[in-house]
Amino acid sequence: MKIPSKPTILALAIILATPLAANPARDAIINALKQQAGVSSFSAEEGKALFLATHSGGKPETPSCTTCHGTNLKAGGKTRAGKPIEPMAVSVNPQRYTDPAKVEKWFRRNCNSVLGRECTPLEKGNILAYLSSL
Amino acid sequence: MTTRRILLATALGVALATPLSADDNERVRPVTDPLTRAECSACHMAYPVGLLRSQSWERIMGTLSDHFGEDASLDPASTEAIRAWLVNNSRPYAKPPAEPPMRISELRWFKREHGSRLFTVARVSKGIGSISNCQACHRGAEQGLFEDD
């Protein structure tokens, strides 16, 4: 077996040392939200509160994000039509929040369904910070 | 006893994959358009286009922001492309009802095949949740395979 060259080992060490949440595509989404919100960081705590709360402004069938995504975000959820939903926690589902069009589409739909309005860039960023921290 | 058999088969994880007659096969042919298949299978299976008439699809695609109690809206270009595909791949009513049905599960043939008891069973069973969850009972639904006797 060939011994890996120094640069390979170095590259591997960098990959292993990178925190889970760091993914260039996800970072770009979060950075764009920071610019829109005019803030330099997001609050996972506020994202958590918003995600787990029961709301009354939206459609009666969907009072909370947890209606479909469940309360254990490392486990999967289920749609109202019974179809399984993959886990939301980035630690168990690293592909999450890496496609900007997908993220935008579902924020628009789900915030409308649950809150009766779109989420602000600050709310979206807080939620992504929360889901990336799990 | 068919109900019992199909539920038992589901519980055992056995695929109910008996092919239907040629006509029925056409009706339950899976959605082949990639965009429609991707966008309309996020919350439930992409229902076979042949199971609703064109005017019904038209109505569904015109009301996506309030879709059975959810916002399922899409960007205008995707909405139009999916609308066109669904409408062009289904049969129109010659005389459409004032409010074309939006559910396959409210059609007369569907209620005949699935008695009201089965609707209840579907709703209260943890692994099913809704009569609209076709593939919970028809394992081959996404391949166009439904039960036949």
B63 touches A at CB < 8 Å: no
In a domain, A6, yes or no: no
Residues of chain A neighbouring B44 (CB-CB closer than 8 A): 79, 81-83
**Domains in chain A: how many in total?**
1
In a domain, A2, yes or no: no
In a domain, A7, yes or no: no
Domain that holds residue A55: 23-133
Model confidence pLDDT, tens digit, residues A56-82: 989 999 999 999 999 999 999 999 999
Q: What is the mean pLDDT of residues B22-33?
A: 81
Residues of chain B neighbouring A59 (CB-CB closer than 8 A): 66, 69-71
Model confidence pLDDT, tens digit, residues A93-119: 999 999 999 999 999 999 999 999 999
SS (H, E, C) A28-72: HHHHHHHHHHCCCCCCHHHHHHHHHCCCCCCCCCCCCCHHHHCCC
Is the CB of residue A68 less than 8 Å from the CB of residue A79? yes
In a domain, A102, yes or no: yes
Which site among A67, A68, A109, A110 would you substitute to test the B interface, given the most B Cβ atoms closer than 10 Å to its Cβ? Answer: A109
Is the CB of residue B142 less than 8 Å from the CB of residue B16? no
The residue with tokens 């579907």 is: B122
Determine how β-strand A84-85 pairs with β-strand A77-78: antiparallel
Q: Output the domain CATH number for residue A93.
A: 1.10.760.10
Give the number of other Cβ atoms within 10 Å of residue B115's Cβ: 11
